[in-house]
């Protein structure tokens, strides 16, 4: 994994939101929405030197340009989005460690991550966001706020779970937010909206108008139901 520092943002003690593409593209939808809505500015890039897949265009292939950006605005750092995530454990670990190194560099106290939560419950248009944290004390605090906690013991794989483990190992508080989805194979905009509202509740800040995401959700539903 290669890292390129583009500039040094003048920020201290930011919140970090870090998520990569996963089931239903939830992580990427939320990260891309925040970056566009808050007009964040790129200051660091992570790039894999080897392709994790190739794109077959029907007779010839292209190599994807896989990289993931760190962006910032005021007291917020946003990492991830894009397409895909590293498939090799070593690259995934390097990426998680770099997020932790950036968190330490700017004295971040909190890392939020997010993704999809595959469920058989028919969620219709009102998916819940389930939360898990890096400590029992933080979980108790979430419960006092009326937040839905993850309902059972499970494994969370990939970046959007592993980063919580890295945060805990390094004494940084972390919260994982996972929006309910029924169909992991299609973009889940309503799950993304649910997570955005949860982030706003926990951080006491507006992230932007979600009406465009609502419109995208309706379009996907029309296509899926035809």
Q: Find the CATH number of the domain harbouring 204.
A: 3.40.50.10900
Could you read off the pLDDT of 73-86 as tens digits, one per residue?
A: 989 999 998 777 88
Which residues span the domain enclosing 72?
Answer: 2-225
The highest-confidence range among 122-136, 144-158, 162-176, by mean pLDDT, is 162-176
Global pTM?
A: 0.91
Q: Do the Cβ atoms of 32 and 83 come closer than 8 Å? A: no
Residue where the block lists tokens 């690259």 = 91
Structural domain count of the chain: 1
The CB density around residue 129, as the number of other CB atoms within 10 Å, is 23
For the stretch 54-79, what's the b/e string if a residue is b when 16 or more beta carbons lie within 10 angstroms of its beta carbon? eeeeeeeeeeeebebbbbbbeebbbb
Is the pLDDT assigned to residue 226 strictly greater than 70? no
180 vs 120: which has the higher pLDDT: 180
């Amino acid at each position: 994994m290669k890292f390129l520092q583009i500039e040094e943002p003048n920020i201290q003690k930011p919140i970090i939101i870090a998520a990569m593409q996963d089931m239903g593209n939830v992580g990427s939808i939320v990260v891309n929405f925040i970056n566009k809505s808050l007009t964040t500015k790129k200051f660091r890039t992570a790039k894999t030197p080897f392709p994790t897949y190739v794109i077959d265009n029907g007779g010839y292939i292209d190599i994807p340009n896989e990289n993931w950006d760190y962006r910032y605005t005021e007291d917020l750092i946003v990492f991830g989005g894009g397409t895909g995530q590293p498939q090799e454990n070593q690259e995934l670990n390097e990426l998680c460690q770099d997020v932790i190194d950036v968190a330490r560099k700017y004295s971040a106290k909190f890392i939020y991550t997010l993704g999809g939560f595959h469920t058989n419950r028919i969620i219709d248009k009102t998916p819940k966001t389930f939360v898990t944290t890096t400590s029992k004390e933080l979980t108790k605090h979430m419960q006092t706020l009326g937040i839905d906690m993850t309902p059972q013991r499970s494994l969370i794989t990939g970046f959007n779970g592993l980063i919580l483990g890295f945060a805990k190992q390094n004494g940084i508080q972390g919260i994982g937010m996972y929006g309910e989805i029924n169909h992991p194979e299609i973009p889940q905009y309503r799950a993304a909206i649910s997570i955005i509202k949860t982030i706003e509740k926990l951080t006491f800040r507006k992230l932007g108008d979600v009406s465009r995401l609502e419109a995208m959700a309706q379009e996907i539903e029309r296509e899926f139901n035809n």
